[in-house]
Structure 1
């Protein structure tokens, strides 16, 4: 296990609703729980050498990779291979892992089919869970009864990213498409193909889009094509960001900035006009997950192809390194 964990890759992270815990999932089916109160507010007399290591590491019974995570007030929701499971927080925080409270199996045409649940997004009212999967589909799940109520079809290859805002959903896939969906109609109403734009395209890296995120007026997306900012209504590329990456896997909006990372030495904070505001050095050779919250603490955590997770409290520099091992 020692040799294996040195090659750990952390694919996803989430915070507990109370903000006291960071949860991270890796390619070995392990889920680590970090106690942020202990890490951010250490008591000198109680400080131990392992304070920046997980409080617990749980391993899924299947040992299949943990692809995506989201949280509700009651559940930690885990997207793995062929299934989504919900774990009661009280039980999950214990040393011994119990059975999940519920499990949703992904539709499969064959016993050999492996469907990765690559991205999860929870609707603002928390009644619907949207799962972007490796079979090219987005599944809409009613969390009240755990049933799949709708399937969004339109991608031609597996889906990397799902995000939503204001009754719209945006998805990005290996096919190079960024699709916009009307959640009330359940249909795609607009499509971007960044690789068709000569200023954005990078044929040597590919046409895949690793991340796409919505704000009220903008879309930010990137992957093989360069990280770029698009106007939501006109679908025009307004800014093409000049950063030295070899593929984007993370992008989101925060405080009138774009935060982005991927196969690069830094996580970037950029103005809408393209100015680099902050370059945060990262431990991972490729960033697959970066999450941020401002309550009850300012915390930004960055994870990827490394057993180390970078933690920042000012968003301008790396304060600590957490160890998923």
Structure 2
């Protein structure tokens, strides 16, 4: 698919985002150059036939040819990709079948542009609530746009952040949303009332602040009991009821881009050549080496095949089928 010049460019590729298909049969990765690679999981887990063979995508989508694939999320019927000024939906039936029509977008939502801008804001994070079919888009204008996927129209706009929104996290019930930003804050939102209920400023806590790395918060995740966040500020775990830090993690990173609460463990990564698995109390469970010095995306699924995928500032994805070691590596192109 790619020309020789593009292949040379992809040597310096960055994998910005990932997700799994709705049926769990495919892993998808979005690149710095606007392409989405589709890996069939049954194929990538087979033994290689020779030492020269590489595990590469089954096919690609040229999703945003003039931009990045900054964010991705899966709904029951669509792969949803976010980029500068737009969100696009791709029919899973075509994407997973590998048909020629797969490169045709099913629908596009344009992000509203500011008065002094010719294009809409970049969509850095997407979250989807299947209960009400709402899509949440965290953008670099500091706003969270809420779209109804029935008609693609803006339902509401959540405002409060003063800089880029790096990530969104949504509770399964769709009643609460957490957002984190370059402005150094984490905001909690009551989606029923459509209002901001709490603001955390981790960098104001002495043992969390890291002046050399800045105030920004690059990742957030939460449950009914716990909130996890990190960025320039250290990775920290907070009590949801008291909004006080319970654990401050001591990691050899220079910034956090990934923070996940997974079962009874914490998963973290960022400016470091490892993905860390930790207990809630900060004990190191495993340190998984990565193909990149910086990780931007970690996704996982339990069924039909348990799989972790790690992507970042390289042309490779690292795959784990448990939480303790890297099992194999995929090549984007």
TM-score normalised to the size of structure 2? Answer: 0.93
What is residue 77 of structure 2 aligned with on the other side?
A: 74
| Conservation of the 8 A alpha-carbon contact between 2:54 and 2:331 | no
| Conservation of the 8 A alpha-carbon contact between 1:141 and 1:147 | yes
CA distance in 2: counterparts of 1:227 and 1:26, whole angstroms: 26
Structure 1 residues 62 and 114: CA distance shift in structure 2, 3 A: farther
SS of residue in 1 equivalent to 2:90: strand
Matches of residues 33-182 of structure 1 in structure 2 within 5 Å? 33-42=38-47, 50=53, 52-60=55-63, 62-93=65-96, 94-96=98-100, 97-109=102-114, 110-113=116-119, 115-125=121-131, 127-165=133-171, 166=173, 167-182=175-190
- C-alpha RMSD of matched pairs (Å): 1.6
| Conservation of the 8 A alpha-carbon contact between 1:38 and 1:51 | no
CA distance in 1: counterparts of 2:52 and 2:80, whole angstroms: 31
* 286, 295, 312: which one aligns with 1:304: 312
What is residue 273 of structure 2 aligned with on the other side?
A: 265
Is there any run of 5+ residues in structure 1 with no aligned partner, and where? none
- Which stretch shows the higher mean deviation, 92-101 or 102-111? 92-101
- Which stretch shows the higher mean deviation, 177-186 or 33-42? 33-42
CA distance in 1: counterparts of 2:121 and 2:260, whole angstroms: 26
TM-score normalised to the size of structure 1? Answer: 0.95
1:126, distance to aligned residue in structure 2 (A): 5.4
- Which stretch shows the higher mean deviation, 157-166 or 5-14? 157-166
Structure 1 residues 174 and 62: CA distance shift in structure 2, 3 A: same
1:41, distance to aligned residue in structure 2 (A): 3.8
Is there any run of 5+ residues in structure 2 with no aligned partner, and where? 1-5
1:237 aligns with 2:245: yes
- Which stretch shows the higher mean deviation, 169-178 or 1-10? 1-10
CA distance in 2: counterparts of 1:43 and 1:212, whole angstroms: 37
1:8 aligns with 2:9: no
- Which stretch shows the higher mean deviation, 55-64 or 216-225? 55-64
What is residue 225 of structure 2 aligned with on the other side?
A: 217
Aligned residues: 323
1:290 aligns with 2:308: no
